[in-house]
Every structure is written in structure tokens, then in C-alpha cells.
Amino acid sequence: MDYFSIATIIITLAAIFGYINVRFLKLPNSIGLMLITILFTFGVFALSYIDPTLLNAEKYIIEKIDFRTILLDVMLSFLLFAGALHTNFEQLKVQRWPILMFSTLGVLMSTFLVGTVLYFLLQLTPLSVEYIYCLLFGALISPTDPIAVLGIMKKAGVPKNLEAKIVGESLFNDGIGVVLFLTIFQIASFGEQEITALGVLQLFGTEVIGGILLGLVLGWGTYKLLKSINDYDIEVIITLATVMLGTAIAHFTHVSAPLAMVAAGLFIGNDIVRQGAMSETTETYVDKFWELADILLNTVLFVLIGMEMLVLSLETTYIIAGVVAIPIVLGCRYISLLFPVNFFKEKLKFVPHTGLIMTWAGLRGGISIALALGLTEQMHREFFLVVTYVVVVFSIFAQGLTVGKLVNRLVPRVKQQEV
């Protein structure tokens, strides 16, 4: 089966599952698609006892798809650019300091808290997992997933200034999380003698700062091109080329492509740049194009996440460990947010219970699964992949479906209207 046929099958399934969700379930697309895909996979498992043909075909498709590469190296750039393009830049600017703290100090603290707590809990069980590998899990599960967060926040009814914090953090903290993951991965693979403080700083500078600088340069260049012409067809293509060429440059120069696309999207999506470079017609077409791209890729992504269940070693011990990890991850996230929230809440007029709402709204998604798929067998790949999947499924279903209700309960309606 060639790649075109595989892509055709995936998109056709996404269209069918999307129709079922919109027509009958009426859930947010990310949640509905993932739920239907998981139920479909369970149905395929049940049918395999009679005829394994469909199960073998689905396994073949999943084995042919390199989920980690497709998400981290390709899809993520398009999704983050689309998300950043439609983010409220002014609110993001106002909340820039807490967002910076959440996406750096918060991720770092959460990584070590999750890793440490999980390590000591596992010492009480027959599962013997080294501390460094628990830290790896902490690094891959601590960043909130921008794709899942952006999809849910649109329908959650969160106050605007709180939405800016949650979305802004999710757009930036995956870059920090990936740097942490790669650093700990190198220590786990080669030993501490191979890693120096200078090496960590160099990796941080290359991935994060280099990615943001590349994104700003791409955004400025795109702005100049859009400003010099007035043809919405070509201007839409220019924005598409920005993402594709920018991603290729980021991979070649070993900087963070996701952060580059966030920076470029925020630059181009800024109201001042929009008004100075795009006509109303161009603005409409650019927005509609990237909204459609966002919906299409999100649909495919959550179908793939559901189908990834086929590669899991669903041992009872692993599943129980995943269930235990859920409150650990949530509790450590809440603790990691305490200092930034308390430091900024008076200056920036945070809504009540900001820390609790941000904890529950900090969804995990495909990025965590993609990083877990990159672990080696020595790093207990099968164990951490199942644990990650359990946390992600709980995050998307339980947290995603209830975050709006939590906000309505904790934040008075009058207060929401004020902010």
C-alpha cells in the first residue's frame, strides 16, 4: 500500500468520524474524533476474533506511519502557525511575563516534580525504573499540548485574559519541554560525563532563541512581501510558503521549527501588520485558508492518536500506573504554577482560582505521545508509552469536556464579562 492510499484512508476515516460526531455526538471535534476512533479500534479488536483482516490492515497502516516524525517535524509547524495567527496578540503582550514564567520555570519545576514523585512511588512496586527515565517522562508529560488546548479553548468560554495565559503558555512551552526532553535523553543515553552546563545552554540557545529569531525574520519577510502586492491568491500561497520554507530552514539549522512558526504567526497575525500589509479581502482569505488547514490537520491528528492504541502493550500493571500518574501530573502542574500565579495575580488582575483553572485546562496530547514513541527499549518505552497514553486520554476526555463547566463554577459570570 503506497502513501497516497494510506493518506486517503486516514482522511476518509477522519471525514466519516467527523460527520458522526457533528451529526450525532456534537462534542468538540478533537474529543469526538478521538472517542470515535478509539471505539472503532475496540470494534476492530472484537471483530478480529472472527476475522483479523481489518485489524491487520489497521496495524499495517499504523506501522507505516511514523507518528513522531509526522507530528513533530511536519504537522506541528502548520498547526502552531495557524493557532498563533488567530491568537489575540494584544492580550498576549499584556500577559507576556506570566506566560514566560509558566512556559519556562513552570515546565522545569513540573518535570522534576513529576519525575521524582513517580520514581519514589515505583520503588514501592515490582517495577524498577531508574530516576533518569522517570525524569524523561516528566519532561514529555509536563508541557501542555498547544493543539489540544487551542481546540478546546475556543468552546470553553474562558475569560479573555485567562485564555491568553493558557493559550500563550501552550504555544511556547512545548519548545522548552522538547529542549528539556532532549537534554535528559542525552544524559540517559550517554551518561552525565557527556553533558555540561555549557552544552545545555547551547542547546537551549540554538533551539529556543534561534527558533524565535528565525520566526521573527520569516514574519518580517512575509510582511514585506504581502505589503508590496495586492493579490489574495498569491498572498495566501506566500503564507503557506513561509511555513514550509521556514520549517525546512529550521530543520537544516537545528533550531526549533515549532517556536519559529509561533513567532512568525504572531508577527503576521498582529493587527498592525495585518492592517499595513493585507486588504480586507486578503485578510479574509488568509484567515479562512488557515482555519481550514487547522481543522483538517487537527482532524487527522486526533484520528491518528486514537489509532496509536494499536501499538500499545496494554498490560494491567502499565494501565494502573497510568491511572496513578494522572493525579501526580495534575498535582505537580498545580504546584509548579503557584509561584508565577501568586507573583503576578495582583499586578495583572488574575481571575479567581487561576492556578486551578490553568491546571485543569493544561491538556496533554499528541506531542507527549510523539516524544514517548522516541524512547528506547532501555528507557522502558512500552511502560512510559502506555502511561502517557492513559494521561493523554484522561486529559482530552475528562479535562477537555469539563473545563468550561469548571470556569463557570469558579469564576462569576459578572467577573467573566469584566475581563
The 10s digit of each residue's pLDDT in 275-292 is 899 999 999 999 999 999
Confidence of residue 360 (pLDDT cuts 50, 70, 90): very high
CATH number at residue 107: 1.20.1530.20
Query: Which residue would you say has higher pLDDT here, 163 or 35?
Result: 35
The cell 494491567 sits on which residue? Answer: 316
State mean pLDDT over 264-269: 94
User: Is pLDDT above 80 for 126?
Assistant: yes
User: Is pLDDT above 90 for 381?
Assistant: yes
Same domain, 24 and 150: no
Same domain, 49 and 156: no
**Letter string b/e over residues 54-65, b meaning 16 or more CB atoms within 10 A of that residue's CB:** ebeebbebbeeb
Q: Is 129 in contact with 119 (CB distance < 8 Å)?
A: yes
Among 32-46, 132-146, 198-212, the least confident range: 198-212
Same domain, 236 and 352: yes
Same domain, 315 and 248: yes
Give the per-residue pLDDT at 191.
65
Same domain, 94 and 164: yes
Give the per-residue pLDDT at 155.
67
**Could you tell me the three cell numbers for 114?**
513529576
3-state secondary structure of 298: helix
Confidence of residue 359 (pLDDT cuts 50, 70, 90): very high
Confidence of residue 149 (pLDDT cuts 50, 70, 90): confident
Same domain, 23 and 142: no
Give the per-residue pLDDT at 138.
96
Confidence of residue 28 (pLDDT cuts 50, 70, 90): confident
Please name which of 419, 347, 361 lies closest in space to residue 395, comparing C-alpha atoms.
361
* Cα 145 from Cα 72, distance rounded (Å): 12
Give the per-residue pLDDT at 163.
84
Same domain, 57 and 164: no
Give the per-residue pLDDT at 283.
94
Give the per-residue pLDDT at 414.
42
* Cα 161 from Cα 108, distance rounded (Å): 24
State mean pLDDT over 142-155: 77
User: Is pLDDT above 60 for 413?
Assistant: no
User: Is pLDDT above 50 for 62?
Assistant: yes
Same domain, 106 and 163: yes
Global confidence as pTM: 0.90
Same domain, 215 and 318: yes
Please name which of 164, 159, 161, 138 lies closest in space to residue 149, comparing C-alpha atoms.
164
Give the per-residue pLDDT at 206.
81
Cα angle value 94/177/355 (rounded, 5°): 50
Q: DSSP label at 124?
A: T
Q: For a pLDDT cut of 70, what percent of the chain falls above it? A: 95
Q: Which of 29, 64, 99 is the last residue of a domain?
A: 64
Mean pLDDT across the chain: 89
Domain assignment of residue 26, given as a range = 3-64
State mean pLDDT over 328-340: 96
Same domain, 28 and 87: no
State mean pLDDT over 132-155: 84
Q: Which of 64, 92, 113 is the last residue of a domain?
A: 64
Provide the number of structural domains found in the chain. 2
Give the per-residue pLDDT at 383.
96
**Could you tell me the three cell numbers for 186?**
542525552
Q: Which of 64, 80, 102 is the last residue of a domain?
A: 64
Same domain, 324 and 193: yes
Please name which of 238, 206, 232 lies closest in space to residue 219, comparing C-alpha atoms.
238
Give the per-residue pLDDT at 156.
66
Same domain, 252 and 284: yes
Among 101-105, 175-179, 227-231, 343-347, the least confident range: 175-179
Q: Could you give the residue ranges of the DSSP H alpha helices within 191-255?
A: 197-204, 210-228, 232-253
The 10s digit of each residue's pLDDT in 387-410 is 999 999 999 999 988 988 888 888
